[in-house]
Amino acid sequence: MQTRRLGYTDLKLTTRSSCVVRDEFSVNATTQYALRNTRYGAEVTSLQPPYSMLHREAEDGVLDYCARNNIGVLVYSPMQRGLLTGKFSRQYLTKLAPDDHRRKNPDFQEPQFGATLELVEKLKKIARRNGKTLAQLAIAWVLRRPQVTAAIVGARRPAQIIETAPASDWNLSREDIEEIEKLLGNRQEKLK
């Protein structure tokens, strides 16, 4: 396997000339540049960007580029490291191990953490109204985009898979999507 470094994007080329692009930091113009220039030397078959209600950078042209070029998009972290499951609170955060990677992540620090806790309380109402969990809502939200092929959902226990799997069958209503967009916009305004 050969790896080429272009900006923040590692391109891993296999002997079959297929390519998996995994962007660890952000999905932006650098990724689009890498995808365009790689297409001449290898077939790009999939992109694996982070994508959630809290991190929407993949919407900045990358999802559309992948759709136009028949590139599968397997998003990861749709529940944003557990933040969009409803299980986090300020108290829960203090109980994380001192070396837990989330302690250094800006999403788990103020002002983002407080704004996310407020958002989560409002999102819970949408999930409950539909007879779903917040985790299912977070996953269904990323899957609402036709460009998204699949969502990679981490689980530590089988019960978590049992909970989240039904999200793939949930098509959010237009009203729910509009309400979520409004809530996300309000959160962004608070963080300015």
| Tens of pLDDT, residues 127-185 | 999 999 999 999 999 999 999 999 999 888 888 888 999 999 999 999 999 999 999 99
Cα(101)–Cα(38) distance, rounded to whole angstroms?
Answer: 32
DSSP 16: T
Which tokens hold the place of 86? 């409803």
Which residues make beta-bridge pairs with 151? 75
Q: Is the model's pLDDT at 113 over the cut of 80?
A: yes
Q: Is the model's pLDDT at 187 over the cut of 90?
A: yes
Q: Is the model's pLDDT at 8 over the cut of 50?
A: no
Mean pLDDT over 4-18 rounds to 34
| Structure confidence at residue 106 (pLDDT) | 94
Query: What are 56-94's pLDDT values in tens digits?
Result: 999 998 899 889 888 899 999 999 999 999 999 999 999
Q: Is the model's pLDDT at 11 over the cut of 50?
A: no
| Structure confidence at residue 88 (pLDDT) | 92
Hey, what domains does the chain have and what are their CATH numbers?
49-191 (3.20.20.100)
* More confident site: 188 or 30: 188
| Structure confidence at residue 146 (pLDDT) | 93
Segment (H or E) for 75: strand 72-76
Residue 178, amino acid: E
Cα dist from 12 to 25, 38, 43, 127, whole Å: 16, 11, 11, 38
Least confident of 16-20, 66-70, 188-192: 16-20
* More confident site: 152 or 4: 152
| Structure confidence at residue 38 (pLDDT) | 57
